[in-house]
Amino acid sequence: MIRIEALSLSIHGLPILRDVSLAIGKGQIFGLVGESGSGKSMTALALMQLLPNGAEITGRAHLDEIDLLTQSEADMCALRGNEIGMIFQEPMTALNPVQSIGDQVAETLLIHDAATRAEARRIARDRLDRVGLSHIGMDRFPHELSGGQRQRVCIAAAIALHPRLLIADEPTTALDVTTQAQILDLLKDLVAEEGMSLLLITHDLAVVSDMADHVAVMQKGEIVEQGPTAQVLGQQNHPYTRALFAASSHQPDRAQMAGRAPLLDVENVLRLYPGPRRGLTRGDPVRAVDGVSFQLHKGESLGLVGESGCGKSTLTRAILGLDPIQGGAIRLFGEPVTPAMRNDLRAGIQVVFQDPYGSFNPRWQVEKLVAEPFHLMAAPPPDRRDRVAEALQSVGLQPADMTKYPHEFSGGQRQRIAIARALITRPRILVLDEAVSALDVRVRAQILDLLADLQSRLHLSYLFISHDLTVIRAITDRVLVMQAGRIVEEGETETVFTAPAHSYTRTLLAAAPRLDIMGRTGTNAAM
């Protein structure tokens, strides 16, 4: 039993958590939901006493009889990994790259003197088998494993000593939807088997509605609503819960206006990567994109879904004329797309990327950032400033924002700037590469609205690339499902989602956690 009472936290005087109280029963899954910066992770780190320097904490946090906040650092070291295990969001970086996975799992046992070296390795093997890695050797290194497998290793290390509480901080956010479903199943089984409590931290309402017995909704360091999952998500008493819920399944108003003229014509495209080195020769080339054909029409919104590594990004790079293709043809407005294509042709197709933090030069003012694509034009337009102001206004920002720097904006605003930058050359096609994936649900809903609005005003065509099925369903007319370099299914979005023809599409849809209107749960039953 975990009891947190009136927990408040400030870091260097800045209040982070206010009066957080919650209780997690034995064998219970407790979902903690909220947007980034709401204090979810800080609550977990407070339980672990792994807070950053300058943290001041008041209140109580008990793990059964143990008062966690009064423990010495040495006592906490004995508790961490032993009574409380924790796994994190980024399985790619959460493991030490230079230590074998067996050693990393065994370390939990060794550090707590729970076993001899040989015994620890035996138990580690056993735990790795339990998390579904029986086919993976103990001497393998993290870089040889996939993201899902690495998260399983992290779980094995966290549960090696059968902790009473497991904290999972966004454990599946970085994973593909099918992998996410498997990891969530594993966590559920482990809770039932081990009788441990699980504190599941996530921004994804669908995940908690699927998993949790109890849920607490956090906003700005406070829990605004909590209770049994069905009740909280069903009744949605607090306005913030309602807002989150609405934003999660937000459907922007879109006008149907796809014309018949193909702006972008992709025909039987083949993109090869050199095969693996074998001595002085190379193996067969990897077919990253293999015989892909589709057309994008004027005013149409086309979705491209698939899991990481399926060739989405490779195809995107080819369409943007960044990489050469080895077969087939890509035509933009009737002209061939190649790395040597003319700049004014490039101006007609612009792209918005996922990361609103990494894609701007931090030392440039917004005016210069947004005006950058003008270099694609033979001569920059004389009304450059007006054009920038107009682009900023069209994405809901002010002309006065021109003199600011990127760090002065939030993630959502930065994504607006990225869209303004893409719009500045008045392109006819926007490629949106996971453009809303890094955003919180409410911000995501606003950006989706903005995109829908821009499309109807400017008659834009969208190629919307995402792994997020909800988003694809909300914003596209047609969808392409990509697997291992090939398009396995293509059709009207609603048809594909309600009556998927290909088995892979069905797997994807079944794996995606879904928020039902009543708030009660279930993975999609469209099998």
The residues that touch other proteins, with contacts defined as CB under 8 A, are: 48, 50, 73-74, 77-82, 85-88, 90, 93-100, 107-108, 111-112, 141, 143-144, 154, 157-158, 279
Q: Which two tokens stand for residue 479?
A: 């969808």
Helices 147-158 & 177-194 angle (0-180, nearest 10): 20
Helix/strand/coil (H, E, C) string of 219-262?
Answer: ECCEEEEEEEHHHHHHHCCCHHHHHHHHHHCCCCCCCCCCCCCE
- Indicate the residue among 21 and 100 with the shorter CB distance to other proteins: 100
Shortest Cβ distance from residue 199 to other proteins (Å)? Answer: 13
Query: Which is nearer to other proteins, 143 or 426 (by Cβ)?
Result: 143
Structure letter (DSSP) for residue 162: -
Q: What is the DSSP string of 182-232?
A: HHHHHHHHHHHHH--EEEEEES-HHHHHHH-SEEEEEETTEEEEEEEHHHH
Q: Which two tokens stand for residue 112?
A: 């707590």
Residues across the chain: 527
Tell me which amino acid residue 270 is.
L
For other proteins, give the closer residue by CB, 175 or 217: 175
In a 10 Å sphere around its CB, with 0-12 CB exposed, 13-18 middle and 19+ buried, how is residue 429 labelled? buried
Cβ proximity to other proteins, 94 vs 270, nearer residue = 94
Report how far apart the first and last C-alpha atoms of the chain are (Å, whole number): 38
Which residue, 71 or 523, is less far from other proteins as judged by CB? Answer: 71
Least distance CB 149 / other proteins (angstroms): 15
Minimum Å distance from CB 90 to other proteins? 6
CB of 93 to other proteins, least distance (A): 4
Q: How far is the CB of 291 from other proteins (least distance, A)?
A: 30
Q: Are 34 and 40 in contact (CB under 8 A)?
A: yes
Cβ proximity to other proteins, 88 vs 464, nearer residue: 88
CB 273 within 8 A of CB 293: no
The pair of structure tokens assigned to 272 is 């090869």
Q: Which is nearer to other proteins, 74 or 517 (CB)?
A: 74
Provide the pairing of β-strand 29-33 with 214-219.
parallel
Q: Which two tokens stand for residue 522?
A: 């279930």
Q: What is the nearest approach in angstroms of other proteins to the Cβ of residue 50? A: 6
Q: Are strands 349-352 and 429-433 parallel, antiparallel or unpaired?
A: parallel
The smaller minimum CB distance to other proteins, of residues 174 and 266, is found at 174
H-assigned helices in 270-410:
312-319, 343-346, 366-371, 384-394
Question: Which CB atom, from 101 or from 247, has the smaller least distance to other proteins?
Answer: 101
At its nearest, how many Å lie between other proteins and the CB of residue 82? 6
